[in-house]
């Protein structure tokens, strides 16, 4: 791997995030070219987490815009604090003073996107596919200019270009125009050696043999036709729970089977896994 990419990998690993070469290259290019990084992938494969870790690695604040249906520009940018303005008016009236400026900083409630212009940050736009497509169009404009105009205050430009990470669970297609602006990467399930590293880091005290059988079982489970195949998050929690049960005296593969509720969360999936228990080593 070229040095800056390997270096980024080490920096992320120091924060317990283990990425493969594809993701590291995408992240490196996104940082260097100043393009938003658009991440898609199954649930629990580390889309949100990498933004948090990048913020730590770069020493920047993490600003998160969680998207949802109905999210509009005002909720994402800023709102005026009308109750506070009203109180100010009442106070002035009571004291017989003239009412001063009501549309200034003191009454401005900063929302994530405005804050991202005023603070050097990693801006995480999480689950963009949940927002409406009008919001996506607005976002496209924001991401091309990194400035906004507040009619009462004027134009505000970014103090430092935010590092932007966008995630999507692909519940719907995103606009081509938005994708064009971004650097795209699909985060796949990790291979066994990377999942082993993650388990070693996040489930301390688990023996090497136990970690190997856990990762082999997860890989096997993902190859079954499940409604919800487990992500990395589920692997970690499964390992932690099974470790807890062994600390309390349970035998090894039995502990894995008993903690299955942390790995698969659909009754049908549990059934499927149990049918294959023996070949999965459970």
Work out which of 18, 78, 138, 142 binds ligand ATP, going by CB under 6 A.
Answer: 18
Tell me whether residue 100 or residue 261 sits nearer to ligand ATP (CB atom). Answer: 261
Q: Does 205 bind ligand ATP (CB under 6 A)?
A: no
C-alpha to C-alpha distance for 208 and 35, rounded to whole angstroms = 40
Q: Which stretch binds Mg ion (CB under 5 A): 20-28, 46-54, 93-101, 253-261?
A: 46-54
Minimum distance, C-beta of residue 169 to ligand ATP, in the bound complex (Å): 5
Question: Contact at 8 Å (CB) between 170 and 129?
Answer: yes
Of residues 135-174, those binding ligand ATP (CB under 6 A): 167, 169
Strand-pairing partners, residue 78, are 110
Minimum distance, C-beta of residue 15 to ligand ATP, in the bound complex (Å): 9
Residue nearest to ligand ATP (CB): 46
Q: Which of 181, 204, 48, 30 is nearest to 127 (CA)?
A: 48
Question: Contact at 8 Å (CB) between 125 and 165?
Answer: yes
Count interface residues toward Mg ion (CB under 5 A).
Answer: 1
Minimum distance, C-beta of residue 183 to ligand ATP, in the bound complex (Å): 17
C-alpha to C-alpha distance for 218 and 233, rounded to whole angstroms = 12
Question: Contact at 8 Å (CB) between 164 and 123?
Answer: yes
Q: Does 200 bind ligand ATP (CB under 6 A)?
A: no
Of residues 81-140, those binding ligand ATP (CB under 6 A): none
CB-based burial, 181-207: b 16+ in 10 Å, e otherwise: bbbbbebebbeeeebbbbbeebbeebe
Q: 9 by DSSP, 3-state: which? A: helix
Q: 161 by DSSP, 3-state: which? A: coil
C-alpha to C-alpha distance for 217 and 75, rounded to whole angstroms = 44
Of residues 35-74, those binding ligand ATP (CB under 6 A): 41, 43-49
Tell me whether residue 80 or residue 186 sits nearer to ligand ATP (CB atom). Answer: 186
Helical spans, DSSP H, in 73-120: 73-77, 82-95, 112-118
Residue 11's binding partner among ligand ATP, Mg ion, none (Cβ under 5 to 8 angstroms by kind) is none
Tell me whether residue 127 or residue 195 sits nearer to Mg ion (CB atom). Answer: 127
Work out which of 150, 156, 233, 277 binds ligand ATP, going by CB under 6 A.
Answer: 233
Residue 233's binding partner among Mg ion, ligand ATP, none (Cβ under 5 to 8 angstroms by kind) is ligand ATP
Q: Does 48 bind Mg ion (CB under 5 A)?
A: yes
Would you tell me which residues interact with ligand ATP (CB under 6 A)? 16-19, 41, 43-49, 167, 169, 198, 232-233, 236
């Amino acid at each position: 791997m070229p040095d800056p990419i390997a270096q980024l990998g080490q920096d992320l690993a120091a924060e317990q995030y283990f990425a493969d070469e594809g993701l590291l290259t995408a992240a490196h290019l996104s940082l260097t070219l100043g393009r938003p990084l658009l991440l898609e992938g199954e649930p629990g494969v580390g889309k949100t987490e990498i933004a948090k870790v990048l913020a730590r690695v770069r020493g920047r604040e993490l600003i998160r815009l969680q998207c949802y249906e109905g999210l509009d520009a005002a909720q994402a940018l800023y709102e005026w604090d009308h109750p506070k303005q009203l109180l100010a008016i009442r106070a002035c009236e009571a004291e017989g003073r003239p009412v001063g400026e009501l549309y200034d900083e003191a009454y401005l409630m900063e929302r994530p996107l405005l804050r991202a212009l005023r603070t050097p940050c990693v801006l995480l736009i999480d689950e963009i596919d949940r927002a409406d497509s009008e919001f996506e169009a607005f976002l496209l404009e924001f991401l091309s200019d990194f400035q906004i105009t507040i009619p009462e205050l004027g134009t505000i430009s970014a103090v430092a270009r935010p590092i932007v990470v966008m995630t999507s669970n692909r519940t719907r297609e995103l606009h081509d125009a938005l994708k064009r602006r971004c650097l795209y990467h699909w985060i796949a399930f990790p291979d066994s050696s990377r999942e082993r590293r993650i388990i070693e880091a996040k489930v301390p005290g688990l023996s090497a043999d136990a970690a190997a059988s856990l990762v082999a079982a997860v890989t096997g489970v993902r190859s079954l036709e499940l409604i919800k195949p487990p992500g990395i998050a589920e692997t970690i929690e499964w390992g932690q729970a099974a470790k807890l049960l062994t600390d309390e005296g349970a035998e090894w593969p039995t502990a894995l089977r008993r903690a299955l509720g942390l790995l698969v969360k659909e009754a049908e999936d549990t059934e499927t896994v149990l049918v294959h228990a023996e070949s999965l080593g459970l």
